[in-house]
Amino acid sequence: MGDLYAVILAGGKGERLWPATLERPKPLLPFGGQGRSLIRATYERVLPLVGGERVYLVAARGLSELLAAELGLPEGQLIVEPFGKNTAPAVGLAALVLGSRDPEGIMFVLPADHRIEDEDAFRRALRAAARAAEEGYLVTLGIRPTYPATGYGYIEGGEPLLEAEGYVIHRARRFVEKPDRKTAEEYLARGNFFWNSGIFIWKFSRILEEIDAHLPGLSAALARLRSHLGKDTWEAALREAYARAEGTSIDYGVMEVAERIATIPVSFGWNDLGDWHAIWEVSREGPDGNARFGAETAEVDAKGNLVFSLARKRVGLLGVEGLAVVDSPGALLVTRRDRAQEVRDIARAFAAREPDWGELYKLDAHGMLRVIERFPEQCREALARGRSEALPRGLSGFTRIVVVGMGGSGITGDLLALALPEVEVITVRDYRVPGFIGKETLLIGVSYSGNTEETLTAFLDGLRRTDRALGISSGGRLAELCRERGIPWIGIPQGFQPRAALGHLLFTLLGALEGLGCEAADVDEALAVLADMADELVPDRSPNRAQELATALRGRIPVIYGVTGITGPIAFRWRTQINENAKQPAFSAELPELCHNEIVGYELAGELFPGLARVFLRTAHDHPRVALRAEILKDVLRRRGLGFVEVWGEGEGRLAQALSLLYLGDWLSVYLALLNGADPTPVVPIAELKERLAREP
């Protein structure tokens, strides 16, 4: 007999398992028995039959990485589809890839998300099916019906063909679509109709022959693809092949029309776990028949309910029967179990509810969107202003810059450090400057309003140590103080929120520092990249990356990961912009440090805080070991079923890549504000706190 291969297919939206499938694809849900995910159970079930090296996974990009991480499957055993397109292309693709190496090999096609009680019986059935496949049959496992199901297709069994492993393999007369209730009852009574399990067994060469005979589009696509096997051109060719292939199921496209079809009637406790009722059936416990996943329940007079929670939530059930209660970070389902089939309608109803951006823009009463749109111009204008400043020669000759500033102004110091990697730039967000600074230091006081008490106090503290100093603000006490003391001061336009004047603060300083011999590299490139991004991210531009990201983060607590020295401050800016614009919590952390602490927090994150959303900010300038760390962290997250998003900087240089990420974050935070129902501009709590402080001299 040819070698045996298990090909696990994963796809489908799992809409009837809403809202759990919003968080995790169905194969990763913990319904495989003994706390295992469905795909792990599928994998372990077939391992003794084929061995670890001959288990392959077919899934679309994105999903395939998640599932492979769950199984620890090496890349060579992954067959990545460019996008999901039903089972016929997936089967054809696997048969092409594996059959090109071993045409007479036998393929078990296994959906990733079925449950099987008697695993020995299952493996015996597959072995028996392989015997029939060896003789050229296309074999399907036919489940002996236990009730007149209307939710499955049926196979009508014909005369017996052969016997193996204690099973009788029958010719399959025909495949029939899901019947109505009356027909299903007839099928049950006749005894030779079996549920179509979607588990198939055939030789690679045979299924490819049948695809050639019945699916001309797929056949032609596979034929073209063959010459790209193992080459760099594979991905592009595959995308094209998938675009051309028929997006049909293997049942409909081949099994219903092919010759030499066989079926093995089996009854090993099969369930495709299609909805919450099916899940309850295989997991109810105790005399009251309640089933619980994740939740800690207290039950009083409650029977036949299912409770599922992604977080370790306490759920009380009082006087209820036959319910499914399904909790996820962003959504909650409460339904009667006997209506579980209709949950798909709920999933679709929500999916159809796209945000009405036109309405949401009206929340932006103070015009933050417009200010963000003009950010590239603001930077350009500011650079010209800075370059036109003639700072006294006496300021030059410093070996260090200390920037004192808070909040939206303080970030200027971090970004100066990023833009001027050759100069030591320290940002002080405090009332005092460090004791080690002296005359070699250029002290820069940055306060948009000019009135921030920590900044003013630290500036005065710094002035005791160095007389190389400079102030920048839109006015306020800082301007007065500089005038009184004869310190150079640069004025920037009034009327902005401090965080929205970052271009004025940063680029004015960059321009001015050029005159003192500090020139940032790649400034022009950075400005050009920002201008392109403004076109791409403005309201009404669709699709809009920033809006998509905001939608993905809605209702979550974002944790933004940057890299020390480059995107670390950008991650911090995302966090503070999300705080101030979107009025919600957000946190940031830096690589590599987070590999020494935060990573441990992943252990219980899924159970305790499933609502966190991690975002990696990446650039091509990350240290190679840091880049490797990011890859490993992503893998660790995937293995724990924890989601993340990764965004890459644009352009070539460090500054362009970092600022492009900053700008994306600014847009995202404003869109998130609108999704949160908030006007992005006012920051009432900051103003209130400042007022209270002002009352206490």
Q: Measured from the CB of residue 97, what is the shortest distance to ligand PA5 in angstroms?
A: 54
Q: Is the dihedral of CA 464, 465, 469, 473 positive or negative?
A: negative
Q: Measured from the CB of residue 408, what is the shortest distance to ligand PA5 in angstroms?
A: 3
Instruction: Considering only residues 550 through 589, tell me which ones interact with ligand PA5, judged by CB under 6 A.
Output: 580
Report residue 401: phi and psi, to 5°.
Answer: -115, 130
CA-based Rg of the chain, rounded to a whole angstrom?
31
233 CB-near residues (< 8 Å, 6+ apart) = none
447/669 with CB nearer ligand PA5: 447
Q: Measured from the CB of residue 375, what is the shortest distance to ligand PA5 in angstroms?
A: 15
Region binding ligand PA5 by CB under 6 A among candidate stretches 124-132, 193-201, 400-408, 649-657: 400-408
Residue among 290, 333, 289, 288 at smallest CA distance from 309: 333
Six-digit token string for 100: 């090109």
Residue among 305, 326, 308, 329 at smallest CA distance from 317: 305
For residue 222, give Cα distances in angstroms to 6, 100, 201, 240. Answer: 20, 11, 20, 10
Q: Are 538 and 373 in contact (CB under 8 A)?
A: yes
Region binding ligand PA5 by CB under 6 A among candidate stretches 276-284, 338-346, 491-499, 533-541: 491-499
Q: Measured from the CB of residue 439, what is the shortest distance to ligand PA5 in angstroms?
A: 26
Lookup result for tokens 């790649």: 522
236/694 with CB nearer ligand PA5: 694
Q: How many residues bind ligand PA5 (CB under 6 A)?
A: 15
Region binding ligand PA5 by CB under 6 A among candidate stretches 20-28, 134-142, 194-202, 492-500: 492-500
Lookup result for tokens 């089996």: 266
Lay out the site mask for ligand PA5 across 625-664 (x = CB under 6 A, - = otherwise): ----------------------------------------
446/589 with CB nearer ligand PA5: 446
Q: How many CA atoms lie within 13 A of 608 on its CB side?
A: 5
Q: Measured from the CB of residue 689, what is the shortest distance to ligand PA5 in angstroms?
A: 9
383 CB-near residues (< 8 Å, 6+ apart) = 507, 508, 510, 511, 523, 527
Interacting residue with ligand PA5 among 84, 105, 408, 539 (CB under 6 A): 408
556/575 with CB nearer ligand PA5: 575
178/432 with CB nearer ligand PA5: 432
128/446 with CB nearer ligand PA5: 446
Q: Measured from the CB of residue 507, what is the shortest distance to ligand PA5 in angstroms?
A: 16
498 binds ligand PA5 (CB under 6 A): yes
Q: Measured from the CB of residue 411, what is the shortest distance to ligand PA5 in angstroms?
A: 8
89/408 with CB nearer ligand PA5: 408
414 binds ligand PA5 (CB under 6 A): no
Lay out the site mask for ligand PA5 across 244-283 (x = CB under 6 A, - = otherwise): ----------------------------------------
Q: Is the peptide bond before 111 cis (omega within 30 degrees of 0)?
A: no
Six-digit token string for 155: 């196979």
SS3 of 167-228: the string is EEEEEEEEEECCCCHHHHHHHHHHCCEEEEEEEEEEEHHHHHHHHHHHCHHHHHHHHHHHCC
Residue among 159, 32, 9, 176 at smallest CA distance from 84: 9
184 binds ligand PA5 (CB under 6 A): no
462/498 with CB nearer ligand PA5: 498
- As a whole number of angstroms, the distance between CA 68 and CA 40 comes to 10
99 binds ligand PA5 (CB under 6 A): no
Question: DSSP states of 149-167 as a string?
Answer: -SSS-EEEEEEEEEEETTE
Looking at residue 20, its amino acid is: A
Lay out the site mask for ligand PA5 across 441-480 (x = CB under 6 A, - = otherwise): ------xxx--x--x-------------------------
Q: Is the peptide bond before 160 cis (omega within 30 degrees of 0)?
A: no
Backbone φ/ψ region at 476: left (φ over 0), alpha (ψ -120 to 50), beta? left
Six-digit token string for 25: 């694809």
Interacting residue with ligand PA5 among 409, 412, 466, 547 (CB under 6 A): 409
99/408 with CB nearer ligand PA5: 408
Residue among 137, 139, 154 at smallest CA distance from 196: 154
454/598 with CB nearer ligand PA5: 454
499 binds ligand PA5 (CB under 6 A): yes
Q: Measured from the CB of residue 416, what is the shortest distance to ligand PA5 in angstroms?
A: 15
Taking 3-state DSSP, the helix, strand and coil percentages for the chain, each rounded to the nearest 5, stand at 45, 20, 30
198/450 with CB nearer ligand PA5: 450
683 binds ligand PA5 (CB under 6 A): yes
Instruction: List the 323-328 sheet strands across, edge first.
Output: 291-293, 306-309, 323-328, 331-336
Region binding ligand PA5 by CB under 6 A among candidate stretches 177-185, 496-504, 600-608, 659-667: 496-504
Q: Measured from the CB of residue 459, what is the shortest distance to ligand PA5 in angstroms?
A: 11
Residue nearest to ligand PA5 (CB): 407
412 binds ligand PA5 (CB under 6 A): no
Region binding ligand PA5 by CB under 6 A among candidate stretches 164-172, 299-307, 495-503, 551-559: 495-503
407 binds ligand PA5 (CB under 6 A): yes
- As a whole number of angstroms, the distance between CA 422 and CA 656 comes to 17
Instruction: List the 424-428 sheet strands across, edge first.
Output: 424-428, 400-404, 441-446, 469-473, 489-491
Interacting residue with ligand PA5 among 71, 221, 406, 559 (CB under 6 A): 406
368 binds ligand PA5 (CB under 6 A): no
- As a whole number of angstroms, the distance between CA 428 and CA 457 comes to 11
Catalytic residue list: 580, 596, 690
482 binds ligand PA5 (CB under 6 A): no
686 binds ligand PA5 (CB under 6 A): yes
Residues that bind ligand PA5 (CB under 6 A): 406-409, 447-449, 452, 455, 497-499, 580, 683, 686
